């Protein structure tokens, strides 16, 4: 669509919508489907060095206030994932972003190195997962740990990579800058925000893991602030994939005004039909009405 | 009405149908639910799994005992509690004037629910229910039901395909509905196609979210919980139908 083209590092996107990680992206067929449905780029489900079964169900619920999930990063492991990414790169006709996750700094480097064999256009590093060496604290919970992950990935691959951050911190801008200083080429913000839901009859948390991550419309204001803070911190050059609560063209316009170059779309795949095409045509309509010709003209007035 | 959050329900009746299948009738109703749709049944602190509706008003599920979760469900007695959310997915579409239902194992349960709906709409249904032997047969549907067993211990000796051939030799059916082991459904669909009937089948894949977000239940590029579980002839050209299943971690497992 005219005027919606954008660029992330060296990747040219026909439009700024990106299928978010963990959303209908477990195999090549699904990634190709999202591309056919209009996504400008697609991100695979995070893969780890060893296979993971994830948590028991319930792993996801759609509550009146928000969506909540604790899948537990289930994935067949990087060995099997290489084949899926290869097939997706061959078939998708849009850039493929391979998401990786690990539970030690060292393993981040190993997974990055292995997944590079599949030659994805970009790697996304899910740093919002627990570090087993630090009592389960998230890597992206502090600038030092996040930077150490970025450095390990930088040394392991020549493929551009984005660091995906958690909003559950008071200083996301500082953390993003530390990642960039350590070699990150882009930032994806945000992953889900910690949350919990209770069933009063069962007298338990609904998610089997008790805690999970909030996604969907409830996350939008949190994501807007995170992206705004990150843009202020990292300056104009570093691409940001703004993710969290995007389901309409106006959500996407607002996210880009707050500082994003592209928008990740996750939970909204079930909130409306044809979400990628819908978001794009609504963006175009707004831009036409207001006389914007290019995405970079969408800026906040301060 | 869709229950988005699990709702507590009480078992009103627990009936053992055969040596492996128990049918539970609950004290709640999902009046808009249709055959082929499923619910996510939750045993708090343990697990939550998809089960086809065997009835909607009141809710019924037929559970085949095969592992830890289904064993616990089958062990529930009258007054026992479980939580359900749903109904989810796309169910069967009733079409045609004469229909044939072909089921194997607990897969016959949603077809019995379909037979009840067909009756209300004055559609003539005939059912074939297959099993390895007599002790594994399900109770009959509310329409004419033929039974087949591999060992001949009850009904017609042989598999459901032979019985289906036999029926088609004498009469014509507009649509064939099938639910059971995947290879059986594939064979039923191919035979239905040869006989120029329409076909709808119910697929199973490992489910996590059950609502179309996580992607775990994929069969090729189709999501069983969201695009299905009811599919048609398009499955015959799906690269993973009758071939690949993904386990809890997402490993490909040959069928
Ligand atoms: C749409 C749909 C409808 C279903 N309807 C029925 C039904 O009406 N009656 C019935 O008895 N069973 C039904 N199943 C299958 C049922 O979910 C499994 O039999 C049950 O989860 C087994 O759990 P378990 O712990 O007893 O066995 P396990 O030992 O854990 O697993 C045994 C097998 O069950 C299947 N399974 C396990 N977990 C899941 C899961 N989360 N999602 C899907 N399959 C799983 C796998 O094939 C696995 O190999 C349905 C499945 C789907 C997807
Ligand atoms: C079911 C589910 C699974 C997810 N899995 C991952 C994952 O494996 N890796 C990751 O980086 N983010 C994961 N996410 C986070 C999403 O990519 C996204 O950041 C978040 O959901 C916010 O976007 P949304 O509001 O558009 O859903 C997952 C989200 C959901 C809902
Ligand atoms: S089980 Fe999550 S998409 Fe079907």
- Domain assignment of residue A1, yes or no: no
In chain A, the number of structural domains is: 1
Q: Do residues B134 and B222 both lie within one domain?
A: yes
Query: Tell me, what's the pLDDT at A231?
Result: 98
Would you place residue A136 in the very low, low, confident or very high pLDDT band (cuts 50, 70, 90)? confident
Q: Do residues B147 and B177 both lie within one domain?
A: yes
Q: Do residues B26 and B59 both lie within one domain?
A: yes
Q: Above 0.90 for ipTM, yes or no?
A: yes
Enclosing H/E stretch for A42:
strand A41-43
Specify the 3-state DSSP secondary structure of A111. Answer: helix
Query: Tell me, what's the pLDDT at B158?
Result: 93
Higher pLDDT: A231 or A10? It is: A231
Mean of pLDDT values over A140-144: 95
Q: What is the C-alpha to C-alpha distance for residues A291 and A106, in angstroms, rounded to an integer?
A: 49
Q: What is the C-alpha to C-alpha distance for residues B255 and B237, in angstroms, rounded to an integer?
A: 16
Chain B CB contacts of A201 under 8 Å are 8, 83
B208 lines ligand 3 (CB under 6 A): yes
Which one of A61, A69, A71 has the shortest CB-CB distance to B5?
A: A61
Of all atoms in ligand 1, which is nearest to the CA of residue B225?
1
Q: Note the pLDDT tens digit of each residue in B38-55.
A: 999 999 999 999 999 999
- Domain assignment of residue A302, yes or no: no
CB atoms closer than 10 angstroms to residue B4: 15
Q: Which domain holds residue B188?
A: 98-254
Q: Do residues B11 and B106 both lie within one domain?
A: no
How much is the CA Rg of chain A, to the nearest whole Å? 18
Chain A CB contacts of B213 under 8 Å are 23-24, 60, 67, 69, 266-267, 269-270
Q: What is the C-alpha to C-alpha distance for residues A135 and B247, in angstroms, rounded to an integer?
A: 29
Q: What is the C-alpha to C-alpha distance for residues B178 and B107, in angstroms, rounded to an integer?
A: 8
Give the closest-approach CA distance of A210 to chain B in angstroms: 10
Q: Which domain holds residue A107?
A: 6-297
Which one of B42, B221, B246 has the shortest CB-CB distance to A33?
A: B221
CA A127 to chain centre: 11
B14 lines ligand 3 (CB under 6 A): no
CA-nearest of B196, B172, B176 to B186 is B176
Pocket test for ligand 1, best of B51, B180, B230, B235 (most atoms within 8 A of CB): B51
Q: What is the C-alpha to C-alpha distance for residues A85 and A117, in angstroms, rounded to an integer?
A: 9
- Domain assignment of residue B1, yes or no: no
Mean pLDDT, chain B, rounded, equals 97
Inter-helix orientation angle A105-115/A143-156, to 10°? 30
Mean of pLDDT values over B130-157: 95
Q: How far is the CA of B66 from the centre of ligand 1 (A)?
A: 8
Query: Tell me, what's the pLDDT at A233?
Result: 98
Q: Do residues B203 and B146 both lie within one domain?
A: yes
Which one of A51, A59, A76 has the shortest CB-CB distance to B209?
A: A59
Mean of pLDDT values over A139-163: 97
Query: Tell me, what's the pLDDT at A48?
Result: 97
- Pick from B70, B88, B106: which residue ends a domain? B88
Q: Do residues B166 and B105 both lie within one domain?
A: yes
Pocket test for ligand 3, best of B211, B227, B247, B248 (most atoms within 8 A of CB): B211
Would you place residue A285 in the very low, low, confident or very high pLDDT band (cuts 50, 70, 90)? very high
Of all atoms in ligand 2, which is nearest to the CA of residue A216?
25
Mean of pLDDT values over B74-93: 97
What is the number of H-type helices and E-type strands within chain A?
A: 8, 16
CB atoms closer than 10 angstroms to residue A2: 9
Is residue A129 flagged as an active site residue?
Answer: yes
Q: Do residues B122 and B246 both lie within one domain?
A: yes
Q: Do residues B166 and B225 both lie within one domain?
A: yes
In chain B, the number of structural domains is: 2
Asked if pLDDT for residue B28 goes beyond 70, the answer is yes
Q: Is B68 on the interface with A (CB under 8 A)?
A: no
CATH of the domain at B67: 2.40.30.10
Chain A CB contacts of B44 under 8 Å are 199, 202, 204
Q: Is B254 on the interface with A (CB under 8 A)?
A: no
Q: Which ligand is nearest to the CA of B211?
A: 3
This prediction has a pTM of 0.96
Q: Note the pLDDT tens digit of each residue in B9-19.
A: 999 999 999 99
CATH of the domain at A231: 3.20.20.70
Q: Note the pLDDT tens digit of each residue in A107-129.
A: 999 999 999 999 999 999 999 98
Residues 38-67 of B with CB under 8 A from A: 40, 42, 44-49
Rounded-to-5 percentages of helix, strand, coil across chain A: 40, 20, 40
Query: Tell me, what's the pLDDT at A133?
Result: 73
CATH of the domain at B109: 3.40.50.80
Asked if pLDDT for residue A134 goes beyond 90, the answer is no
- Domain assignment of residue B93, yes or no: no
Query: Tell me, what's the pLDDT at A1?
Result: 64
Q: Do residues B117 and B136 both lie within one domain?
A: yes
Q: Which residues contact A47 (CB under 8 A, 6 or more apart)?
A: A75, A76, A77, A78, A81, A98, A99, A100, A101, A111, A115
CA B65 to chain centre: 15
CA B222 to chain centre: 18
CA-nearest of A68, A25, A70, A74 to A216 is A68
Q: Do residues B28 and B127 both lie within one domain?
A: no
Asked if pLDDT for residue A132 goes beyond 90, the answer is no
- Domain assignment of residue B138, yes or no: yes
CB contact under 8 A, B46 and A53: no
What HEC string does B93-137 produce? CCCCCEEEEEEEHHHHHHHHHHHHHHHHCCCEEEEEEEECCHHHC
Mean of pLDDT values over A147-162: 98
Asked if pLDDT for residue A66 goes beyond 70, the answer is yes
- Pick from B34, B63, B88: which residue ends a domain? B88
Catalytic residue among A47, A129, A142, A280: A129
Residues 135-154 of B with CB under 8 A from A: none
CB contact under 8 A, A30 and B221: yes
Q: Note the pLDDT tens digit of each residue in B166-206.
A: 999 999 999 999 999 999 999 999 999 999 999 999 999 99
- Domain assignment of residue A48, yes or no: yes
Query: Tell me, what's the pLDDT at A130?
Result: 74
Mean of pLDDT values over B116-142: 96
Residue B17 φ/ψ, nearest 5 degrees: -85, -35
B223 lines ligand 3 (CB under 6 A): yes
CA B251 to chain centre: 24
Give the closest-approach CA distance of B179 to chain A in angstroms: 24
Q: Do residues B106 and B214 both lie within one domain?
A: yes
Query: Tell me, what's the pLDDT at A137?
Result: 84
């Amino acid at each position: 669509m005219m005027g919606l083209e954008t660029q992330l590092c060296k990747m040219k996107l026909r439009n700024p919508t990106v299928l978010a990680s963990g959303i209908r992206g477990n195999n090549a067929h699904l990634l190709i489907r999202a591309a056919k449905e209009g996504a400008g780029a697609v991100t695979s489900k995070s893969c780890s060095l060893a296979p993971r079964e994830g948590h028991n169900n319930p792993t996801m619920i759609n509550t009146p206030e928000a969506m909540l999930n604790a899948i537990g990063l289930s994935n067949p492991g990087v060995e099997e994932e290489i084949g899926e990414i290869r097939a997706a790169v061959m078939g998708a006709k849009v850039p493929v972003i391979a998401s990786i996750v690990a539970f030690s700094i060292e393993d981040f480097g190993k997974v990055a190195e292995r997944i590079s064999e599949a030659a994805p256009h970009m790697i996304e590093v899910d740093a919002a997962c627990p570090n087993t060496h630090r009592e389960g604290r998230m890597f992206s919970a502090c600038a030092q740990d996040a930077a150490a992950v970025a450095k390990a990935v930088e040394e392991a691959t020549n493929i551009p990579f984005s660091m995906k951050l958690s909003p559950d911190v008071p200083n996301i801008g500082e953390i993003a800058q530390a990642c960039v200083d350590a070699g990150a080429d882009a930032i994806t913000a945000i992953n889900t925000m910690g949350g919990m839901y209770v069933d009063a009859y069962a007298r338990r948390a609904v998610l089997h893991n008790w805690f999970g991550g909030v996604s969907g419309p409830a996350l939008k204001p949190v994501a807007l602030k995170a992206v705004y803070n990150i843009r202020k911190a990292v300056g104009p050059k570093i691409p940001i994939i703004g993710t969290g609560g995007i389901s309409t063209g106006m959500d996407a316009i607002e996210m880009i005004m707050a500082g994003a170059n592209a928008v990740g779309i996750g939970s909204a795949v079930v909130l409306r039909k044809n979400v990628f095409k819908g978001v794009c045509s609504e963006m175009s309509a707004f831009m036409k009405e207001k006389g914007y010709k290019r995405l970079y003209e969408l800026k906040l007035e301060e | 009405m869709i229950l988005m959050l699990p709702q507590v329900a009480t078992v009103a009746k627990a009936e053992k149908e055969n040596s492996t299948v128990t049918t539970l009738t609950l004290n709640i109703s999902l009046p808009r639910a249709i055959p082929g749709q499923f619910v996510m049944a939750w045993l708090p602190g343990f697990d939550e799994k998809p089960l086809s509706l065997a009835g909607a008003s009141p809710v019924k599920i037929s559970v085949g005992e095969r592992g830890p979760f289904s064993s616990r469900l089958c062990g529930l007695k009258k007054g026992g509690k479980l939580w359900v959310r749903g109904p989810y997915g796309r169910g069967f579409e009733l079409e045609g004037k004469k229909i044939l239902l072909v089921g194997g194992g607990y897969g016959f349960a949603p077809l019995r629910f379909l037979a009840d709906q067909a009756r209300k709409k004055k559609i003539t249904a005939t059912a074939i229910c297959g099993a390895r032997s007599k002790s594994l047969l399900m109770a009959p549907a509310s329409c004419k039901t033929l039974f087949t067993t591999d060992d001949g211990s009850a009904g017609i000796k042989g598999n459901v395909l032979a019985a289906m051939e036999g029926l088609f030799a004498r009469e014509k059916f507009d649509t064939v509905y099938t639910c059971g082991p995947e290879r059986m459904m594939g064979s039923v669909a191919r035979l239905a196609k040869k006989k120029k009937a329409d076909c709808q089948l119910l697929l199973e894949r490992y489910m996590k979210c059950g609502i179309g977000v996580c992607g775990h239940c994929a069969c090729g590029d189709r999501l069983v919980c969201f695009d299905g579980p009811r599919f048609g002839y398009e499955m015959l050209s799906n690269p993973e139908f009758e071939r690949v299943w993904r386990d809890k971690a997402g490993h490909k497992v040959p069928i």
